Amino acid sequence: NEKCLEVKNLRTWFHTPEGIVKSVDGISFSIERGKTLALVGESGCGKTITSLSLIKLLPETAELHADSIILNGRDVTNLDKNEARKIRGAEISMIFQEPMTSLNPVYRIERQLGEVFRLHNPGISSAEVKQRSIEILKKVGVPNPEERLKVYPHQLSGGLRQRVMIAISLASNPRMVIADEPTTALDVTIQAQILDLLKQLQKDMNMSILLITHDFGVVSQIADRVAVMYAGRIVEEGKMEDVFTDPWHPYTKLLILSIPGIKVTRGNRLESIQGSVPNPLKFPEGCRFAPRCPYAKDICHKQQPPEIVSGDRRVSCFLRGDQHEG
Ligand code: SF4
């Protein structure tokens, strides 16, 4: 199947007075055309830095290296800022968590949407901008689009704002969208509607989605594949159903068990994952999850677990290695 994005050995480090923070520390993944990969993990695991690395919107202090980043067949590993700006929107676009901070509060929706159409279609007439703006608002389920074009972001409900944000992201007709916690700020009913909308748009436009989330509940509603990130690395990756029904990595298990309302077998209940994400200035020497892992053995504290690949799944954990050997 055609790959929309292929990332090999991405490392994004930050130079700080205290030392080097390895926010993303050697991750590889790919996304097929028209599919969704969810990158899941707690805050601070490196998932948002991964997405900002892909669209080259990192702060000055960041240092990015990768063996390769191929987007829609083009090598974008070493693009400079100007070249990167050109691929943003046209090739890859971003839907942010809180539309209130990414929409401009002082401009009407008409102007914000119009800017995208004008940028990507030089010479387009005002009448056509308006017509396309109405069409795209309809497409993302905004009622009375003509009226809504005239309002400011704060005059819309949270759900409508997120729909407008999605419309702006899609106005450039990108082949790939990064959705960073797209529903976190919304209540559960609206959340489900927005996820349904994304799924529908994905089908209509055959676009690929990289979903960034801490919430396995969201993953189960929309993802085809899931990559679980912990302390700058991917610890497990596979088809959503496989990972969800039979997680191999202890961290994935705990993340799934912490979904509210998930059915757990007796003796398996864990309200939340004990401890916190390790300090990225000094990651543990062995498995980075060892200090929090209920199954940690001696070797886990001394050596990094190897990545074990089995079919279209992979996991980095000594436990899985034992199972294969035995
Ligand atoms: Fe736990 Fe060891 Fe597996 Fe790490 S390698 S997740 S510490 S069992």
Whether the CA torsion 102, 92, 42, 156 is positive or negative: it is: positive
Which residue out of 300, 301, 315 has the highest number of ligand 1 atoms within 8 Å of its CB and is therefore the one to mutate? Answer: 300
pLDDT of res. 100: 61
∠ CA 288-215-289, nearest 5°, is 10
Q: Is-contact 113 136, C-beta < 8 A?
A: yes
Residue with tokens 């969800």: 244
Whole-number Å distance, alpha carbon 11 to ligand 1 midpoint, is 22
pTM of this prediction?
Answer: 0.90
pLDDT of res. 156: 93
Whole-number Å distance, alpha carbon 286 to ligand 1 midpoint, is 9
| CA nearest neighbour of 120 among 93, 155, 160, 153 | 93
pLDDT below 50 — which residues of the chain?
266-270, 324-326
Whole-number Å distance, alpha carbon 276 to ligand 1 midpoint, is 15
pLDDT of res. 90: 83
**Ligand 1 pocket at CB < 6 A:** 249-250, 287, 289-290, 293, 295-296, 300, 305, 317-319
Whole-number Å distance, alpha carbon 277 to ligand 1 midpoint, is 14
Whole-number Å distance, alpha carbon 319 to ligand 1 midpoint, is 7
Whole-number Å distance, alpha carbon 235 to ligand 1 midpoint, is 10
Question: Which residue CA neighbors atom 3 of ligand 1 most closely?
Answer: 317
CA distances from 319 to 278, 295, 312 (A): 21, 8, 19
Which residue out of 252, 297, 299, 301 has the highest number of ligand 1 atoms within 8 Å of its CB and is therefore the one to mutate? Answer: 297
pLDDT of res. 272: 60
pLDDT of res. 253: 93
pLDDT of res. 99: 63
Q: Is-contact 294 319, C-beta < 8 A?
A: no
Whole-number Å distance, alpha carbon 298 to ligand 1 midpoint, is 10
**Closest ligand 1 atom number to CA of residue 288:** 4
Which residue out of 298, 317, 322, 323 has the highest number of ligand 1 atoms within 8 Å of its CB and is therefore the one to mutate? Answer: 317
pLDDT of res. 49: 94
Q: Is-contact 256 262, C-beta < 8 A?
A: yes
Could you tell me the two tokens for 209? 């989605």
